[in-house]
Structure 1
Amino acid sequence: MTHPAAAITAYWDAAADDFDDEPDHGLRAADTRAAWANLLTAWLPPHPVDVLDIGCGTGSLSELIAEAGHRVTGVDLAPRMVEQARAKLAAAGLQGRFLVGDAALPPTGREKFDVLLSRHLVWTLPDPHAALNEWVGRIRPGGLLALIEGRWREAGQSGVPYVVGADTLPWHRGITADDLAGAVRPLVSDLRIEPLGADAALWGGPVTDERYALIAQV
């Protein structure tokens, strides 16, 4: 029997080749790329900081972060996603460190970061509350937690069903802004919710499900 972690890794490895075909993954369209760059500029400090991109995928947001002059570390469970992220930044002439590892327990040792960013990841976590607690502990005092999330279908982007047992994940269809705020609020000093669903440029077209960013001060 395949171990669940191995099945999850295999799923995202298989999705890696086509992952950037999704407009908000590859950021190939100029308006979509600009929309995400503008969001990151608004959230991140104007001076260079250390950013941990959890569940970095093929590195599209990491690329924007590095392009803005920040020091980025990306973590993803799927080796093929990490390979593509490394290649993407290298092709752009940008610096970035990418590590294969569990998003819930990033393989960065005792290192602390000024910003921890995660996009569309918490629905895949078997214990999201433990992961959130771990993530906040990786952020320097006064730093920022930025979670881009929503409430949607549980499957990924490869066109095949997600791993067996996915329906038992606590947040397998995503999580509402109110519920995520309730989970994060005890861990941080302040937070706000920014609705993102109305900005079609972010997604490559209109969306009808709930999409938002939770921005929290640690």
Structure 2
Amino acid sequence: MEKKLTKDIQDYWDKRSETYSELNITELNGSRKNLWHNVLTDLIQKAFPDKNNDDIKILDIGTGPGFFSILLKECGYNVTGIDSSTEMLGRAKSNAGKYGDVINFLQMDADDLSFEDDSFDVIVNRNVTWNLQNPETCYAEWRRVLKPGGRLFVFDANWYAYLFDDEKLHEYEEDRENVKDEGLFDFNDVENAEKMEQIALTLPLSKEDRPKWDENALLKCGFLSVSSDTEIWKKVWDREEQVNFASTPMFLIQAVK
């Protein structure tokens, strides 16, 4: 069952790679890029104030069409981006332009990394952890490849809580109405949306109270300290995103090995 579900998730993202890449290209060419640049560089510089950017090794897990990897490489960091979807990796390399052969793009599963222990200073991802079938295993594996003192930065949200909670469903439906009323693009109006809902119903984190669940799981697998910022969305989302996702605010989880 687990292998079939993994294939279903990969197939979904393979099929959605073109339109998802288009959204990433819009981000790379617009104001959202600067919002993310400011947040990411601030986090990394505070964690490693005495290190040069090119000496900081970053692993972008679930890179998708490459948004984080490209942004971080433009800042001079040493970047590796992994994804289980070959289609997404192809888009990422294309989107990276002159950095396509400089960023180390690799096909790899998030729970089975081929890197040696203590390989990276930073692990970062966005909108990835809710997809995980075995999040505890992934968190332990991510800790393994981080260097002592390394940082994990997870950006995510309770995207599919509305499938399990009537109040959340009402809030989600209000978001859709507000988007329509303001004449904005609806990020939830995508191809195969029902397919992703069916998958989300089977994923363990869809119904968990996050980021509280993650904090406990990360401490349990050996991270020294864990903290969350539940208002990070105010810094990384523009007006369009804030209206779209009012009921599912993005959070940031920081963990130190």
TM-score, normalised with respect to structure 1: 0.87
Q: Which residue number in structure 1 is paired with residue 250 of structure 2?
A: 211
Quick one: structure 1 residues 42 and 116, their matched pair in 2 at CA, closer, same or farther if it must change by over 3 Å? same
Q: Which residue number in structure 2 is paired with residue 201 of structure 1?
A: 237
Q: Which residue number in structure 2 is paired with residue 178 of structure 1?
A: 212
Distance in 2, Cα, partners of 1:27 & 1:169: 28
The answer to whether the Cα contact below 8 Å between 1:67 and 1:94 also exists between their aligned partners in 2 is: no
Distance in 1, Cα, partners of 2:30 & 2:198: 37
Structure 1, unaligned runs of 5 or more: none
Is 2:42 the counterpart of 1:42? yes
Superposition deviation, residue 21 in structure 1: 3.8
- Greater displacement, 191-200 / 75-84: 191-200
Q: SS in structure 2 opposite 1:205?
A: helix
Q: Which residue number in structure 2 is paired with residue 122 of structure 1?
A: 129
Superposition deviation, residue 178 in structure 1: 1.8
Q: Which residue number in structure 1 is paired with residue 180 of structure 2?
A: none
Larger-Rg structure: 2
1:96-115 to 2 correspondences below 5 Å: 96-110=103-117, 112-115=119-122
Superposition deviation, residue 106 in structure 1: 2.3
Superposition deviation, residue 152 in structure 1: 1.4
Superposition deviation, residue 147 in structure 1: 0.6
Quick one: structure 1 residues 68 and 20, their matched pair in 2 at CA, closer, same or farther if it must change by over 3 Å? same
The answer to whether the Cα contact below 8 Å between 2:83 and 2:107 also exists between their aligned partners in 1 is: yes
Distance in 1, Cα, partners of 2:89 & 2:130: 20
| 1:166-203 deviations in Å (ceiling 9; x for gaps) | 42211135751222212112321122212223346357
Distance in 1, Cα, partners of 2:145 & 2:116: 9
Aligned residues: 217
1:169 pairs with one of 190, 193, 203: 203
Superposition deviation, residue 14 in structure 1: 0.5
1:121-160 to 2 correspondences below 5 Å: 121-153=128-160, 158-160=190-192
Quick one: structure 1 residues 66 and 50, their matched pair in 2 at CA, closer, same or farther if it must change by over 3 Å? same
Q: SS in structure 2 opposite 1:185?
A: helix
Distance in 2, Cα, partners of 1:51 & 1:109: 14
Normalized per residue, the structure richer in helix is: 2
Aligned Cα root-mean-square deviation (Å): 2.8
| 1:89-120 deviations in Å (ceiling 9; x for gaps) | 23457720011121121233556111011211
| 1:43-88 deviations in Å (ceiling 9; x for gaps) | 1135221100000000011011101111111110110110111122
TM-score, normalised with respect to structure 2: 0.74
1:43-82 to 2 correspondences below 5 Å: 43-45=43-45, 47-48=52-53, 49-82=56-89
Q: Which residue number in structure 1 is paired with residue 170 of structure 2?
A: none
Quick one: structure 1 residues 28 and 114, their matched pair in 2 at CA, closer, same or farther if it must change by over 3 Å? closer
Quick one: structure 1 residues 95 and 14, their matched pair in 2 at CA, closer, same or farther if it must change by over 3 Å? same
The answer to whether the Cα contact below 8 Å between 1:149 and 1:175 also exists between their aligned partners in 2 is: no
Distance in 1, Cα, partners of 2:141 & 2:65: 23
Distance in 2, Cα, partners of 1:77 & 1:163: 20
Quick one: structure 1 residues 115 and 11, their matched pair in 2 at CA, closer, same or farther if it must change by over 3 Å? same
Superposition deviation, residue 163 in structure 1: 7.8
Q: SS in structure 1 opposite 2:204?
A: coil
